[in-house]
A and B are shown apart, each in its own frame.
Chain A
Amino acid sequence: MTSSKRRYVLGISGLTTLAVFAFCVSLFVGPAAVGLSDLAGFFGSAPSETGWLIFSEIRLPRAILGFAVGATLGLSGAALQGYLRNPLAEPGIIGVTASAALFAVIAFYTGLAASFALALPIGGILGAVAAVMLIQILAGRDSSVLTLILAGVAVTSFAGAMTSLALNLSPNPFAAYEVIFWMLGSLADRSFEHVWLAVPFIAVGWLMLLTLGNALNALTLGEDEAASLGFNLSRIRLRLVLGTALSVGAATAVSGAIGFVGLVVPHLLRPLVGHSPKLLLPVSALGGGILVLSADIIVRLLPFEREIKLGVLTAMIGAPFFLILLLKHRRNLL
């Protein structure tokens, strides 16, 4: 096995182990004292009923969603960067999560999601599709870093303003407080209802994105060469749009808009895979899952009375990271 392949296999195994570890830790973090003895219920012996209830209905769905959302953000970030050949692309920066949140908010607060539960993730998906297509029009293919960021700023700002407006217009008296959830994201008090709503769409989205590996590798050479290597560019684009929309849209619909994961994770892990866009995909998925699970653990360990929103943590890491990347790419902006 070549050294680079060995490095890749090591990397994947290491990340998988970390992910499993983070998942398990996440199951044991929380304000209630739920320990291993409470898990006895899983093995049939006399359980502590409340302990088992907390574990199975509160902690488990939260951990599952934490990994699913994080992996989605990491994977879609890697895919978008590979396709747009732009290291600053990620669903948060280009406005996909903000747009998904907007449509999810509309689906929820108009009562649509109350009569038809799937309206919530579908709303998020439609919002994500709209954003990806808009970004393609504004700043697709080979356009400069600056254009892409500006397009993302435009979409995010507009979606954010519309979300505030929608919540303002809603007769719901808690709207002002709830907007924080949609804009900054949180996994608090998620239940298996959220898992069933989102995970099927997320899984299909993952499938579509993970199969883009070879195409993304070919795009390293540019679009013409990639087409000459036998890739159907319009079908590739469709798979990217749908894969991103399905996974990021559904994830945002149940967890709010969490940003920067898709930027930080692929960037950190690229050296691990020799910058190969294809290998970066599964690796970023694992890395994203680990990042969000860890952030969710930290959020519950912090001594604040009110759990701070996940998006705050990811922004605290991601925004400075983004600035550093911008500085590195300064010459591309001119």
Chain B
Amino acid sequence: MTFRRAADIGAAALAALVFFGSPAWAAKPARIVSLNLCTDQLLLSLAPRENIAALSFLVADPISSAYTAEARGIKLLRGQAEEILPLKPDLVFAGLFTTPATIRILKRFGIPVVTVQAATNFATIERNINLVARAIGFPERGKKLIEKLRETLPPESGTHAKPRPIAALLWANGFSSGRGTLSHAVIERAGFRNLASLLGQPGTHVLPMERLVEQGPDILVIGHPSPYPSLANKLLLHPALRAAFKAKPRIAIGDGLWLCGTPATARAVRLLSDKWKEASK
């Protein structure tokens, strides 16, 4: 065996190790880019700032994001390949719906892309935290974050008296979230029954105002009204709604807390259960 040959084998073995080996062995990605609001926020809670090269512009929107403060000072992108490539990223996070064309270009340039599916309950939130933490090379941070999340959540059982009170979720333009959505998981975890799932429709769908009034839920949960005029906002001011909930509690929870499954989502659960406790006094 020549020296050169041994070196080749050694290099190949090293490459294999790097490629398949444990993250603790491999060099941690130093120029991470995220193209998706949810992965943006996970990155901000897990990665050291200097490793983040850029995030999507949505993370700076105070309505949709819970991490606007943390995102300050970081480069924001619209998501086009032209913006991403000059940054020479060594890891890119994307969501299921990130433009496929962009991802194809990145892959063609040999950039590793990790797709993270949106979390729809707390189990998948924890899964995503672990996934991102491992990919960026800080698995122990992931575990710590999950611990903190579990602490923030109120105790699981015995949160409210049986039968559990019914919460109605009302988004802009009359939409509500049923079984299989993150909002549904939050409602249930906070100790309520979700009106939308009781009425049978899964996923995000329109909840007719008449049904909402007819069913007489115990608490109304809405997102923060947009500061700009919209028909969606006007719906929330409908006289029937106001009359139906005159004596009942209502709470507005910022979209940023539960648009994505992040550690901040636990705060939403906390807010809901605290509100109910306060209203029940």
Task: State yes or no: do A and B touch (Cβ within 8 Å).
Answer: yes
Residues of chain A whose beta carbon lies under 8 Å from any beta carbon of chain B: 30-34, 50-51, 53-54, 57-59, 108-111, 113-114, 170-175, 177-178, 181, 188-189, 191-193, 305-307
Contact B211 A31 (CB under 8 A): yes
Q: Is the CB of A189 within 8 A of B238?
A: yes
Quick one: given A32-B211, A172-B226, are A53 and B243 in contact (CB under 8 Å)? Answer: yes
Q: Which one, A51, A57, A58, A174, contacts B226 given CB within 8 A? A: A174
Alpha-carbon separation in the docked complex, A34 to B209 (Å): 13
- CB atoms of B213 and A53 under 8 A apart: yes
Does B172 touch A at the CB level, under 8 Å? yes
Interface size range of chain B in the complex: 20 to 34
**Complex Cα–Cα for A58 and B212 (A):** 12
A170 to chain B, nearest CB (A): 7
Cα distance A7–B79 in the bound complex, in angstroms: 68
Task: Please give, as numbers and ranges, the residues of chain B lying within 8 Å of A172 by CB-CB distance.
Answer: 226, 228-230, 232
- How many whole Å from A64's CB to the nearest CB in chain B? 14
Q: Which chain A residue lies CB-closest to B205?
A: A305
Cβ–Cβ < 8 Å partners of B209 in chain A: 58, 189
Tell me whether A50 and B231 are in contact (CB under 8 A): no
Give every chain B residue within 8 A of A59 (Cβ-Cβ): 210
- CA separation between A218 and B118, bound complex, in Å? 69
Closest 8 CB pairs of A and B: A32-B210, A57-B240, A32-B214, A172-B230, A31-B208, A172-B228, A171-B228, A174-B232
Pick from A33, A170, A307: contact of B214, CB under 8 Å: A33
The answer to whether B239 and A192 have CB atoms under 8 Å apart is yes
Within 8 A of A (CB), among B174-233: 174, 201, 205-206, 208-211, 213-214, 216, 226, 228-232
In the complex, are the beta carbons of A54 and B229 less than 8 A apart? no
Q: Which of B172, B228, B244 contacts A50 (CB 8 A)?
A: B244
| A32 surroundings in chain B (CB, below 8 A) | 208, 210-211, 213-214
A256 to nearest B CB, angstroms? 10
* Cα–Cα distance between A177 and B171 once the two chains are bound (Å): 13
Checking B63, B201, B235, B244 against A189 with a beta-carbon cut-off of 8 angstroms, the contacting residue is: B235
B228-A170 in contact (CB<8A): yes
Q: Which residue of B lies closest to A170 (CB)?
A: B228
14 contacts between A and B (CB under 8 A): A31-B208, A50-B213, A50-B244, A57-B243, A58-B210, A109-B228, A172-B230, A173-B63, A174-B172, A174-B226, A177-B173, A181-B231, A191-B238, A306-B205
* Residue numbers in A under 8 Å from B235 (CB-CB): 189
Contact B206 A306 (CB under 8 A): yes
Contacts of B208 in A (CB 8 A): 30-32, 307
| Complex Cα spacing A153 to B69, Å | 50
Residues of B within 8 A of A58 (CB): 209-210, 213, 240
The residue on B at minimum CB distance from A186 is B231
- Least distance between A168 CB and chain B CB atoms (Å): 13
Q: Check B214–A50 contact: CB distance below 8 A.
A: yes
Known: A32-B213, A111-B228. 20 other contacts (CB 8 A): A31-B211, A32-B210, A50-B244, A51-B214, A54-B210, A58-B240, A108-B229, A109-B230, A113-B229, A172-B228, A173-B226, A175-B230, A177-B173, A178-B230, A178-B232, A188-B174, A189-B209, A306-B205, A307-B206, A307-B208
Candidates B206, B210, B231, B238; contact of A305 at CB < 8 Å: B206
From A34, A58, A178, residue with most partner B Cβ within 10 Å: A58
Report the bound CA distance from A177 to B174 in whole Å. Answer: 12
Docked CA distance A174–B235 (Å) = 13
Contacts of A181 in B (CB 8 A): 231
Residues of B within 8 A of A111 (CB): 228-229
In the assembly, what is the distance between CA of A114 and CA of B227, in Å? 11
Q: Across the interface, which residues of A come within 8 angstroms of B211, CB to CB?
A: 31-32
B231 touching A53, Cβ below 8 Å: no
- With a CB–CB cut-off of 8 A, which chain A residues contact B213? 32, 50, 53-54, 58
Question: Could you say which residues of chain A place their CB within 8 Å of the CB of B226?
Answer: 172-174
CB distance from B244 to the nearest CB of A (A): 6
- On whether the beta carbons of A174 and B230 are closer than 8 Å, the reply is yes
With CB as the reference atom, state the residue of chain B lying closest to A30: B210
Q: Which residue of A lies closest to B242 (CB)?
A: A57
Chain A residues positioned under 8 Å from B240 (CB to CB): 53-54, 57-58, 191
Q: Name the residue of chain B whose CB is nearest to the CB of A305.
A: B205
B206: A residues at CB distance < 8 A: 305-307
Task: With CB as the reference atom, state the residue of chain A lying closest to B212.
Answer: A32
B243 touches A305 (CB 8 A): no
| Residue ID in chain A nearest B174 by CB atoms | A189
CB B152 to nearest CB in A, in angstroms, measures: 28
Nearest A residue to B227 via CB reads A171
Q: Inside 8 A of A191's CB, which chain B residues have their CB?
A: 238-240
> Would you give the shortest CB distance from A265 to chain B, in whole angstroms?
28
In the bound complex, CA of A109 to CA of B229 (Å) = 5
Taking a contact as CB atoms under 8 Å apart, the answer to whether B244 and A178 are in contact is: no
Q: Closest residue to A107 on the B side, CB-wise?
A: B229
CB distance from B240 to the nearest CB of A (A): 4
Q: Which residues of B contact A108 (CB under 8 A)?
A: 229, 231
List the A side residues contacting B239 at CB < 8 Å.
Answer: 57, 191-193
Find out whether the CB atom of A54 lies under 8 angstroms from the CB atom of B230: no
A56 to chain B, nearest CB (A): 8
Contact B216 A50 (CB under 8 A): yes
